[in-house]
Amino acid sequence: MREPLRFLTVLAVLMGGLLGLKTLSIANGAAEWWDAQGSAMAAQASQEAEDGDADSDAPIMPAEHSEPVQLEAEPSALEVSAAFAERIASGVRTAEEERVIYRLRERSSELDARERQLETREALMLAMEQRVDTKIVELDALRTQIESLSGELSEREDADMAVIVSWYSAMEPGDASDRIATLDMETQLQIASRMSQRTFGAILAEMDTGSAAALTERMASRSNLPETVAELEARIAEGG
């Protein structure tokens, strides 16, 4: 009886030792598992923190634009002009374009009117210039004609005056003095200037003192320059 009890006691001790070892093994395994789980969770938390920092630095994009979008190239000036001309030709215009086109048309009409005015003015100036040129030609011809007639009249006057001088030269000094004294002063001067000094001296001696003095003073003043414009005009009108 004692032997079976000892055996059972030993067996119980052995089973208790085995159970303790098993419990210890299980405890060690659990600790290792918890260590492993803790390291994994720490690593995961660290990775999530890093991802969160990276996401906060990056610009927030909508889901549909998460991928990079390639920008289209801007159209050239020729393409814009061609497109604008095509749109204008088709009659499709914006309100601003309509205002611009209206202003351009108004400005074009103003420039056309200004051009017509300038053309009309230029035509009038050309016509006036032609009339002036024609008038100048006519005046030149008239001046030539007047100069020719003046020369002819002067020659005729000289010839006539020579005949008159010959008449008075052939008279007696007394008769010639009476008749010359009745003439105007200009005619007396012309006769005196064309007659010989001896002949006219005898005629002047037969004149009365007043007529002789007036003729002498006028003859002497012919060589003096006029002092006023009125005197010059009067002398030109008298021919002296």
232 part of a folded domain: yes
- What was the pLDDT predicted at 45? 61
DSSP 185-206: HHHHHHHHHHS-HHHHHHHHHH
Predicted confidence band of residue 120 (pLDDT cuts 50, 70, 90) = very high
Digit-coded pLDDT (tens) for 129-160: 999 999 999 999 999 988 888 888 888 888 88
State the residue range of the domain holding 129: 84-154
DSSP, collapsed to helix, strand or coil, labels residue 74 as: coil
pTM: 0.38
In a domain, 76, yes or no: no
The top-scoring range by mean pLDDT among 41-45, 87-91, 165-169 is 165-169
In a domain, 61, yes or no: no
Instruction: Based on the fold, state whether residues 144 and 181 are members of the same structural domain.
Output: no
Domain count, the chain: 2
Contacts of 161 (CB under 8 A, 6+ apart): 190, 191, 194
Residue 27 to residues 12, 22, 35, 193: CA-CA distances in angstroms? 22, 8, 12, 173
For residue range 20-75, list pLDDT tens digits in order. 555 655 555 555 655 666 566 666 666 665 665 555 554 444 444 445 545 555 55
**Residue 123 domain-assigned (yes or no):** yes
Whether 146 and 93 map to the same domain: the answer is yes
- Classify residue 229: in a domain, yes or no: yes
Residue 2 pLDDT level (bands cut at 50, 70, 90): very low
Q: Is residue 163 part of a domain?
A: no
Does residue 222 fall inside a structural domain? yes
Complete DSSP assignment for 29-69: HHHHHHHHHHHHHHHHHHHHHHHHHHHHHSPP--GGG-S--
Is 101 contained in some domain? yes
For the record, the structure tokens of 152 come out as 């002819």
Q: Are residues 200 and 231 in the same domain?
A: yes
Same domain membership, residue 146 and residue 97: yes
